[in-house]
Amino acid sequence: MVYYFTTRCGNYTIYMGKDKYENEDLIKYGHPEDCWFHVDDLSSAHVYLRLKPGMTLDDIPEDCLTDCCALVKANSIQGCKKSSVYVVYTRWKNLKKTSDMVDGQVGFHRPDNVRRTNIEKNNPIVNQLNKTKEEKHPNLAKQQQDRMKEIQTELKEKRKADDKAKRLEELERARIKEERSYDRIMGEHNMTSNAERNATADSTAAEEFEDDFM
């Protein structure tokens, strides 16, 4: 079972597993857009925020960050009793799972990409989030597979668009080059023709003068 929540702004989805076993599935079947939250140095739920495609950790709205941190604190047996705790968060793709880790335990591929922030107890926010809570039994593996297919399709379409734009740019450069070459040739032709016309005119005038003289 997975619990889903809607952020207070209404634009993002937060979700978490019911227990450590479901947390294992969430770790395994996350999406590239997911951001993972956990209370630092204490046991807690694994809370995920699904970002929009292309967003980074820096793009997370402040109220959404507070929502996730308040929710993960409230779902920590020890953390919920404290006035404040530290919460760590990172992108889902930065989570590392090895065979020697117990259920629910994770490491990080790049520890430098893990952020840490302080959150105080905030029951009003947690209560507001709980009003949006939904229990679902999703097929996480299929959802991940479908999302990966979407990403591959988007990448293919982008490559096609980029290739088309590149071809058009090359054609435009070739057209401009050809026009400049044509203008140069025509310029040289006109200069030659003018000289020839002037020489012809001078020759004709000389012949007419000789005729008149004779």
Cβ-contact 47, 85 below 8 angstroms: no
Q: What is the pLDDT of residues 164-175, one digit of tens each?
A: 988 888 888 888
Q: Name the 3-class secondary structure at 210.
A: helix
For residue 119, give the amino acid letter: I
How much is the pLDDT for 198?
A: 57
- DSSP secondary structure, 108-155, as one string: ES-GGG-EEEEEE--HHHHHHHHTT-EEE---HHHHHHHHHHHHHHHH
Spans in the chain with pLDDT lower than 50: 206, 209, 213-214
pTM greater than the 0.85 cutoff = no
How much is the pLDDT for 206?
A: 47
